[in-house]
């Protein structure tokens, strides 16, 4: 399993490469709950749930899992408004989880039925190192 995984929701028109829409603007799209499970066992700390209009649980988990929470060496930390309005993504760090392999599934709930199609974007993040040899060829380790 990767060391970290990122999840985000995107409008199908954004994903398909529209010139009018930004493919990097990630919003909540009305999602109120996000749950991750491995082999049908819910991972500790989930589900993340919105309370009222506040998505602070999502924001706090993002900062903690990306190493930005209480980190004096982090150069900048995006504000809650920046996160909620254009960088809304869920990040989970698998390094400390007991389950190291299995079937990963996520469950999402929305405030109301969706009126448009959305795409769930996910990206596994693993630590790799790139080295350059004498001829500037890339060697991945």
Give 55-99 pLDDT, tens digit per residue.
888 998 888 888 888 777 777 778 888 988 888 999 998 887 776
Q: How many angstroms separate the CA atoms of 92 and 61, rounded?
A: 8
Q: pLDDT tens digit string along 84-141?
A: 888 899 999 888 777 667 888 999 999 899 988 899 999 888 777 777 888 888 877 6
The whole-number pLDDT of residue 47 equals 92
Instruction: Spell 69-89 as b/e; 16+ CB within 10 A means b.
Output: eeeeeeeeeeebeebbeebbb
The whole-number pLDDT of residue 1 equals 45
Give residue 34's pLDDT band: very low, low, confident or very high (50, 70, 90). Answer: very high
Q: Which residue has the higher pLDDT, 99 or 21?
A: 21
Give residue 2's pLDDT band: very low, low, confident or very high (50, 70, 90). Answer: low
Structure tokens at 38: 């491995």
Whole-prediction pTM value? Answer: 0.78
Contacts of 106 (CB under 8 A, 6+ apart): 7, 34, 35, 36, 37, 120
Q: Give the CB-side neighbour count of residue 33, counting CA atoms within 13 A.
A: 10
């Amino acid at each position: 399993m990767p060391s970290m995984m990122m999840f985000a929701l995107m409008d199908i028109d954004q994903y398909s490469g529209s010139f009018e829409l930004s493919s990097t603007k990630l919003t909540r799209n009305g999602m109120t709950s996000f749950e991750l499970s491995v082999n049908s066992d819910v991972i500790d700390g989930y589900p993340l749930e919105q309370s009222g209009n506040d998505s602070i649980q999502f924001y706090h988990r993002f900062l903690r899992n990306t190493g930005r929470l209480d980190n004096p060496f982090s150069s900048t930390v995006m504000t809650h408004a920046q996160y909620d309005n254009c960088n809304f993504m869920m990040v989970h760090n698998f390094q400390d989880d007991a389950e190291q392999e299995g079937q990963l599934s996520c469950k999402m709930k929305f405030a109301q039925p969706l009126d448009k199609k959305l795409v769930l974007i996910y990206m596994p993040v693993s630590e790799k190192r790139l080295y350059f040899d004498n001829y500037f060829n890339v060697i991945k380790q």
